[in-house]
Amino acid sequence: MEDAQKKHPAQPGLTSIEAEGATPVEAIKKALVILGLTKKEVKVKILSEENRGLFGMEGTRLAKVRVSKK
């Protein structure tokens, strides 16, 4: 999470963002850091779940979410 804060400092002017992560939870956390908001202040829509590879190996496709300020 600290890495996400260093790479993407909070940008309070944004009201909506799409983010990707290994899981939807990870993608949501990244979006919250970028927006500088808490989970209670946003609406979350899961655009796509992660797709795990053969034998459950880490994803061939990342999860994608859209996080919007309420």
- Torsion sign, CA atoms 29, 31, 35, 37: negative
What pLDDT sits at residue 42? 96
In whole angstroms, give the CA distance from residue 6 to residue 51: 27
- Evaluate if residue 2 carries a pLDDT over 60: no
What pLDDT sits at residue 58? 59
Q: 3-state class of 13 per DSSP?
A: coil
What pLDDT sits at residue 38? 94
> What are the tens digits of pLDDT across the range 8-34?
666 667 789 999 998 999 999 999 999
Q: Which amino acid is at 60?
A: T
> What are the tens digits of pLDDT across the range 42-51?
999 999 988 8
The domain locations on the chain are 2-69
What pLDDT sits at residue 1? 46
User: What contacts 26, CB < 8 A, 6 or more positions away?
Assistant: 63
